[in-house]
Amino acid sequence: NAGVMQNPRHLVRRRGQEARLRCSPMKGHSHVYWYRQLPEEGLKFMVYLQKENIIDESGMPKERFSAEFPKEGPSILRIQQVVRGDSAAYFCASSLGTATSNQPQHFGDGTRLSIL
């Protein structure tokens, strides 16, 4: 019974390149959340998705960042034209349902993105 799987664990990109981070939720989970953790900080919410739908992207930067959760396959967080300030740990979480049913969010081990 695998947990939330994120890959790659570490990703190095040069400024201006694109970064693609993948997240496979726990089996049976249809809700995915992406968070960003800067050094010495807590996690900040970015986006909440269900299959084929973005439910809440209020934490996503307006430019360069996008997320999807297709019908088949993992959720993808995409960062275009990366800058040094994008260096952070990106965590994905999944749950069975939303707050109304209180299904807790289970986290992956994160992707550490480093921008050279």
Partner 1 sequence: GEDVEQSLFLSVREGDSSVINCTYTDSSSTYLYWYKQEPGAGLQLLTYIFSNMDMKQDQRLTVLLNKKDKHLSLRIADTQTGDSAIYFCAERLKGSRGSQGNLIFGKGTKLSVKP
In one-letter notation, the amino acid at residue 112 is R
- The interface region with partner 1, picked from 20-28, 61-69, 77-85, 101-109 by CB under 8 A, is 101-109
74 binding partner 1? (CB under 8 A) = no
Torsion on CA atoms 111, 62, 48, 71, rounded to nearest 10: -80
Query: Is residue 3 classed as helix, strand or coil in its secondary structure?
Result: coil
Least separation, in Å, of the C-beta of 17 and partner 1? 24
Decide whether 52 or 56 has the Cβ nearer to partner 1. 56
**DSSP assignment, residue 89?**
E
Taking the C-alpha atoms of residue 116 and residue 97, their distance in angstroms, rounded to an integer, is: 38
With CB under 8 A as the contact rule, the residue among 21, 48, 60, 115 that binds partner 1 is 48
Least separation, in Å, of the C-beta of 31 and partner 1? 7
87 binding partner 1? (CB under 8 A) = no
| Helix or strand holding residue 55 (H, E) | strand 53-56
Six token digits for residue 95: 């749950």
Six token digits for residue 10: 């570490």
Residues that bind partner 1 (CB under 8 A): 4, 6, 31, 33, 35, 40-45, 48, 55-56, 58-59, 91, 93, 98-100, 102, 104-110
